[in-house]
With several copies, the nearest count.
Chain A
């Protein structure tokens, strides 16, 4: 299984944010996307997840355990927002996502209790999600990645709002995922504590698409 991106470019409004980005990630490896504010890291990740249309180019998963039509189906996406309901308890949230996601073939998600244990927050699953502090909420959003199996993880600034101990926990999660044969792509300003990963540096501002106007 490999993730192959070829000649990707994307627009926001009329502006071309990046142009002609190509890379390839084999199973068990991670890609870290870096660059200054506004250089298009989040945009790239959303294009990969299929949430934004690419202007040109394609990204696909080759030789996956199950044929995929859109790359997004094989991905977990962890954006800036946690995709959990404040009104429901942590447990209810995670049970819902586990049921809704289902497993991608080639792996199986762990149980909710185990996932919560892995992110180091056992004992508060019965609390409404809204009661948690920003850091705790982020950890629970990571537990969501564990309850259903997806080969590709797309992570946008995963360690924002986390303290040092939580960052180590996160590095452990990603390492385990890679060891199980997964792929991870993360955009970040801070070091992630992963060893020997590929890096992609965004320079930003590919130019205004003014040729049209």
Chain B
């Protein structure tokens, strides 16, 4: 047999859940440690920088609100990519990745919603308004929960994965709506000031802690994601073993 190229071998290595588990086992302590360090730095920075002259102390909410909001969208993007992986490449780990990401995404969205509301009360005088940005984020939250419910309602994971992949892809239209809602409709919410074509317009003083926190949140996401994927792999392994046991038990007895 000819030796497959290194890239292909790497890919198929990852395709093998057992290898993936081994990889997770070595990687996750490092990732978790790095996440903790970054959070320490980020929290330190976010409590030592001065308050904004307009928004006062509440600007500190930004350092959790904005990363959580970004992550909520990124997580869905990860799920959409995994859904493509499921439908196009039939990659077994893609199913696992999409399913494991949903609860994490739901939690980040929840954090964005809670912190946003807590910021809105002092700034806008109300916990909630039904403007395009806020509403589309809430719809994202509902979609995460719907996907979780769909996954729980189906007892066969492979089929559940395929079907939710279709739904994930259809629901992806919401992400650009969230991102650009502030520009397409006039809303109460702040327009983008960091991730924009012409570079960030936010002052460096706020940018530094924000970016550190954003990286920390991203690492947190990846740590949790690979660990949740590991759990999901174990869950499937258990299901396979159980079916195996059920099939071999009693038949001969």
Contact = CB atoms under 8 A, between A and B. Distances in A.
Contacts of A165: 253
A39 to B, nearest CB: 12
A205, A209, A213: residue with the most chain B Cβ atoms closer than 10 Å = A213
Chain B residues touching A, range? 20 to 34
B242 A13 contact: no
B162 to A, nearest CB: 10
Contact of B233 (A120, A135, A213): A213
B158, B239, B247, B250: residue with the most chain A Cβ atoms closer than 10 Å = B250
Chain A residues touching B, range? 20 to 34
B17 A213 contact: yes
Interface in A89-141: 120-121, 123-124, 127-128, 130-133, 135-136, 139
A132 B240 contact: no
A213 B240 contact: yes
Given A208-B240, A210-B241, A212-B17, A131 B92 contact: no
Contacts of B9: none
Contact of A123 (B17, B241, B247, B249): B249
B249 A136 contact: yes
B155 interface: yes
B236 A14 contact: yes
B156 interface: yes
B245 interface: yes
Nearest to B253: A120
Q: Is the interface of A mostly helix, strand, loop or mixed?
A: loop
A205 B247 contact: yes
A131 B250 contact: no
Nearest to A131: B246
A53 B246 CA distance: 25
A38 B16 CA distance: 29
B237 interface: yes
Contact of A208 (B233, B244, B250): B244
Interface pairs A-B: 6 shortest CB-CB: A213-B237, A120-B253, A131-B246, A121-B250, A124-B249, A14-B240
Interface of A: 13-15, 38, 120-121, 123-124, 127-128, 130-133, 135-136, 139, 165, 205, 208-210, 212-213
Interface of B: 16-17, 92, 155-158, 233, 236-237, 239-247, 249-251, 253
